[in-house]
Chains A and B, each alone.
Chain A
């Protein structure tokens, strides 16, 4: 058990809908990262938050947004969903500098139909 909790584990929704994925980081970790894993693109970094502030952006679509709350949990919001958004979405957390280890949750499998 990595200590990172993601909910829900599975999500099936229709095109055009909006969903929210939730991540609780390991106790004490200030950084949260979101990744998308798909068969064709592999593991793509989406966005990072550190102690409530956006720290870095990767290949995140404008239809996607995220936030980190004062209790450090994070939510990834995906809207106007398309079939191509079907993927595994992972959250990872780390303590930040000088630590380099990131711990991953078990992921949320999103299926858009």
Chain B
């Protein structure tokens, strides 16, 4: 079945460091790919998405490119801030209107 694999955390960085969180997926067809973020005590918020191969999603300095050849959707940010500390979830949706399938989440901790 469809699945998402994320790098294990926690990831601990200093402020202004470069961030990469790896995500790979297994799915038939052409799923849409997402990154969600969960801040402490809150629900999940959509961070960015890409709906077809080679699309780049971006938001708040975060970027991820849909790579069909490597079945990957790695999250990157050039300079992290303390306020980016959260849990990040990679997810896929096989087709519009169906359920999201999530990776296990990666905890990011940024210190000043």
The chain A residues found within 8 Å of chain B, CB to CB, are: 2, 4, 31, 33, 42-43, 45, 48, 50, 56, 58, 90, 92, 94, 96-107
Contacts and interface: CB of A to CB of B under 8 A. Distances in A.
Contacts, number: 57
B13 interface: no
Interface of B: 32, 34, 36, 42-46, 49, 51, 89, 93, 95-105
A100 B44 contact: no
Nearest to B41: A106
A94 B43 CA distance: 15
Given A104-B43, A106-B42, A96 B97 contact: yes
Closest 3 CB pairs of A and B: A43-B102, A104-B43, A42-B104
Nearest to B104: A42
Nearest to A105: B43
B96 A96 contact: yes
Nearest to A43: B102
